[in-house]
Amino acid sequence: MGSKVIAVVNQKGGVGKTTTVLNLGVSLAYMAQDVLVVDLDSQANLTSGLGFQSNTSYDVSDVILDPSLVNSTLTSTKVELVDLLPSSNNLVGIELLLKDLDEREYRLKQALHRIGHMYKYVLIDCPPSLGLATINALCAADFVMIPMIPEYYALEGLSMLSQTVRRVKETQNPGLDILGIVFTMYDPRLQLTQAIVKEVGNFFPGLTWDTVVPRNVRLAEAPSFSQPIHLYAPKSQGTQSYMDMGREFLVRMGGHHG
Ligand X SMILES: Nc1ncnc2c1ncn2[C@@H]1O[C@H](COP(=O)(O)OP(=O)(O)OP(=O)(O)O)[C@@H](O)[C@H]1O
Q: Total number of residues binding ligand X (CB under 6 A)? A: 19
73 is a site residue for ligand X (CB under 6 A)? no
- Which one-letter amino acid corresponds to residue 15? V
54 is a site residue for ligand X (CB under 6 A)? no
Write out the binding residues for ligand X, residues 13-52 only, by CB under 6 A.
13-19, 41, 43, 45
87 is a site residue for Mg ion (CB under 5 A)? no
- List the Cα angle 178/108/230 in 5-degree steps: 65
The residue nearest Mg ion at its CB is: 18
Closer to ligand X by CB, 67 or 128: give it. 128
Of 65-73, 82-90, 155-163, 212-220, which part binds ligand X (CB under 6 A)?
212-220
Closer to Mg ion by CB, 17 or 230: give it. 17
Residue 166 sits at φ, ψ, to 5 deg, of -65, -40
Q: What share of the chain is helix, strand, coil (3-state, %, to 5)?
A: 50, 15, 35
Contact pick of 216, 227, 236, 239 for ligand X (by CB under 6 A): 216
Compute the Cα dihedral for 200, 248, 220, 16 and give only its sign. Answer: negative
- Min dist CB 191 to Mg ion, Å, is 29
220 is a site residue for ligand X (CB under 6 A)? yes
Asked if 60 and 54 count as a contact pair (C-beta separation under 8 A), the reply is no
223 is a site residue for ligand X (CB under 6 A)? yes
Nearest 10 degrees: Cα torsion 208, 211, 214, 219: -110
17 is a site residue for Mg ion (CB under 5 A)? yes
Closer to Mg ion by CB, 129 or 172: give it. 129
Rounded Cα distance, 7 and 96, in Å: 22
Terminal-to-terminal C-alpha distance of the chain: 15
Write out the binding residues for ligand X, residues 145-174 only, by CB under 6 A.
none
- Min dist CB 57 to Mg ion, Å, is 22
- Min dist CB 210 to ligand X, Å, is 16
- Min dist CB 47 to ligand X, Å, is 12
Give the helix ranges, DSSP H, for the chain.
Answer: 17-30, 45-49, 60-65, 70-73, 94-98, 107-114, 132-140, 158-171, 191-203, 217-221, 229-232, 237-257
Residue 239 sits at φ, ψ, to 5 deg, of -60, -45
Contact pick of 18, 110, 216, 241 for Mg ion (by CB under 5 A): 18
CA neighbor of 46 nearest in space, from 24, 65, 68, 66: 24
Write out the binding residues for Mg ion, residues 177-196 only, by CB under 5 A.
none
User: Which residues are near ligand X by CB under 6 A?
Assistant: 13-19, 41, 43, 45, 128, 184-185, 213, 215-216, 219-220, 223
